[in-house]
Amino acid sequence: MNLEKICSVIVSVYNEEDSLEPFYRHCIQSCEKLQELGYGYEIVFVNDGSQDKSAILLEDFAERDKEHVRVLSFSRNFGHEAAMTAGLDHAKGDFLVFMDADLQHPPELISEMLKKFKEGYQVVSMVRTKNPSAGLVKNVTSALFYWILNHVSPVHFEENASDFFGISKKVQEVLKKHYREKVRYLRGFVQSVGFPKTSIRYEAAARQAGQSHYSLSKLWRFSKNTLFTFSNLPLQLGIFAAICSGGLGTLLLIYTLLTRKGAPSGYATIVVVLCFMFAVLFFVIGIIGEYIAILFEELKDRPLYILSDSKNIEEDSEA
Ligand code: UDP
Ligand code: MG
């Protein structure tokens, strides 16, 4: 590469055979324009165990443009977070842009992000103003998720920040070295590292082809894990529940002693109170279970991803 400074574009790919060709064309066009800003580029595709023709297409891109295209292939599907992490580990650029392969993240905005980086910002978050692919349920649950997360976590999360963001090499190094958690939320890590940050608002396009890989159940699992890894507050719910039930018991005791009247007797009352108490108890046990599951994942220390193949990647950057 002739230009000294490089912008790395990291693209996660899972079964995107219909989007890849248009994405690649569009991305190259936008990246060529980075020369005007004094930057060369590399595109790091991470093939997350695709079962369709994505692997063949990526191999063809790597063959066609050995200078700019790099491909990392996983031995199986490890998930979007792992794919982004592999890109993070192998990108060589001074500025790194993470984006999806389905053209929901407009490549023409890469130059705007780079301009912000050149102004001195180390983190550039891309905030969606509109997401045509998300239905009412996804929009409402997403707003609720951010509301809860921002109320229980000490870190402030930008609402509607997407997996489209840019970071400097300095932030990359921090994330590579210190954020090796197995239960991951890279977008959240990026927002929690500090450093000068800014955001750009953009309108997400509709998916180029195919369907979202994030089903509601996957989103639920992801949101739950994020909440638990960014906050210890749910663990204190047990104490809160104990204070509430203890307080209620004490009030009932005082009332009984003062009026010398027993609480309303009857089977239904006892069953309702018991069910309620057990529900609270099991809920608290469930939350502890969730934390133990996360601890167990971390303790096992299994690899975040396993590479089966790579193209145009320098030896020394192999993980
Ligand atoms: N993706 C991935 N591994 C997965 C699921 C998705 O690498 O297990 C990629 C996918 O190819 C896309 C990006 O992650 O480039 C975002 O996925 P998707 O578009 O399905 O999510 P949405 O935009 O609907 O949130
Ligand atoms: Mg998408």
Closest ligand (CA of 80): 1
CA atoms within 13 Å, Cβ hemisphere of 316: 1
CATH fold, domain 5-230+304-311, is Spore Coat Polysaccharide Biosynthesis Protein SpsA; Chain A (3.90.550)
How would you write the pLDDT of the chain (319 residues) with one tens digit per residue? 556 899 999 999 999 999 999 999 999 999 999 999 999 999 999 999 999 999 999 999 999 999 999 999 999 999 999 999 999 999 999 999 999 999 899 999 999 999 999 999 999 999 988 777 777 887 788 888 889 989 988 888 888 888 999 999 999 999 999 999 999 999 999 999 999 999 999 988 877 777 788 778 888 888 899 999 999 899 998 899 889 988 988 888 888 888 876 656 677 778 888 888 899 999 999 999 999 999 999 999 999 999 999 999 886 554 4
Atom of ligand 1 nearest to the CA of 211: 20
Are residues 86 and 46 in contact, defined by beta-carbon separation less than 8 angstroms?
yes
pLDDT of residue 267: 77
pLDDT of residue 262: 61
pLDDT of residue 319: 47
- State which amino acid sits at residue 26: H
Give the residues surrounding ligand 1 with Cβ less than 6 Å away: 12-14, 16, 48, 77, 79-80, 83, 100-102, 104, 212-214
pLDDT of residue 3: 63
Measured in degrees and rounded to the nearest 5, phi and psi for residue 257 equal: -65, -40
Query: Distance, CA 196 to ligand 1 centroid (Å)?
Result: 28
Q: What is the DSSP letter of 233?
A: G
Measured in degrees and rounded to the nearest 5, phi and psi for residue 34 equal: -65, -20
pLDDT of residue 264: 62
Atom of ligand 1 nearest to the CA of 99: 15
Query: Distance, CA 133 to ligand 2 centroid (Å)?
Result: 8
Ion ligand 2 neighbours (CB, 5 A) are 100, 102, 104
Ligand 1 pocket test: pick from 10, 11, 12, 202 the residue with the most ligand atoms within 8 Å of its Cβ. 12
Token pair in block for residue 176: 């590579």
Nearest protein CA to atom 12 of ligand 1, as residue:
100
pLDDT of residue 142: 83
pLDDT of residue 47: 97
Residue 129 to residue 283: CA distance in whole angstroms:
36
* Domain locations in the chain as residue ranges: 5-230+304-311, 233-300
Query: Distance, CA 148 to ligand 1 centroid (Å)?
Result: 24
pTM score: 0.87
pLDDT of residue 283: 93
Are residues 225 and 150 in contact, defined by beta-carbon separation less than 8 angstroms?
no
Are residues 29 and 115 in contact, defined by beta-carbon separation less than 8 angstroms?
no
Q: What is the DSSP letter of 294?
A: H
